[in-house]
Chain A
Amino acid sequence: MLIGEVIGRLWASRQAEGLAGRKLLLVRPLAGAGGTTVPTSGLVVAVDGLGAGPGERVIVAHGSRVRDITVGAGVADKDVVVAIVDDLHLPPGAGAR
């Protein structure tokens, strides 16, 4: 899974049937594990069934089977929010080799 920050919601009046009625979030993955997290330049459009909102950090899982057992098999998105982060602990130096 990736950890990312919700930077916004996405609405579209014209969208495929497979997305109809689904809440879409723009998630920016966070990078860096040496005690810091910094945003990457990439963005993911993830389906949310947990009620996440802008500014929150979320865990996004990828895959059609994950999608099937969370938001349903009929949804046309393979990135799904599976957890909303309360706190993140990245002790500095933990990745030292």
Chain B
Amino acid sequence: MILGRVVGEVWATRKDARLERSKLLVVRPHGWYEPRWATEHLVAVDDLHAGVGDDVVVCLGQPARWSRGEENMPVDAAIMAVVDRIELDAGAAQASHAAPGIRRRWTPPSRWAR
């Protein structure tokens, strides 16, 4: 899963029936792994009522289909948690600590406590 921030909302009336109860949100990841496109955002399904500006945990890939627990949804990204608070160790975001593929020189959002 990745951390990201909700930066937008999508409205769609014509969509797969399994998505009718859910919202689609545009999320800008705080760090990418395996980015498929030269985009800065992804679209994730949301059943937790996240809003623009919220930090969220996003599950990518096939497990995202089961974010509701029961139903098999046609999605590859799902919001799994809306973050209340994050505490980072000092230096935790330095490039040398970052996993391979994670964007270098990443600066944590200022609202994250350190």
- Asked whether any CB of chain B lies closer than 8 Å to the CB of A31, the reply is yes
**Quick one: which of A14-70 are within 8 Å of B by CB?**
29-34, 40-42, 50-52, 59, 61-63, 65-66, 69-70
Our pick among A41, A66, A88 for the contact of B26 (Cβ within 8 Å) is A88
Using known A-B contacts A2-B37, A94-B5, determine if residue A50 contacts B15 with beta carbons closer than 8 Å: yes
The interface residues of chain B lying within 8 Å CB-to-CB of A34 are 7
How many interface contacts (CB-CB < 8 Å) are there between A and B?
132
Known: A51-B14, A82-B16, A90-B7. A66 touches B37 (CB 8 A): no
Cβ distance A72 to chain B, nearest Cβ, rounded Å: 12
Enumerate chain A residues within 8 angstroms of B44, measured Cβ to Cβ.
1
Chain A residues in 8 Å Cβ range of B74: 61, 66, 69-70, 80, 82
Q: Is the CB of A59 within 8 A of B76?
A: no
Interface residues on B, range: 35 or more
Question: A59-B15, A63-B61 known; 18 other A-B pairs, CB under 8 Å?
Answer: A1-B42, A1-B76, A2-B37, A2-B39, A2-B43, A30-B39, A31-B37, A32-B39, A33-B40, A40-B37, A50-B15, A59-B10, A65-B65, A82-B19, A87-B10, A87-B11, A91-B7, A97-B5
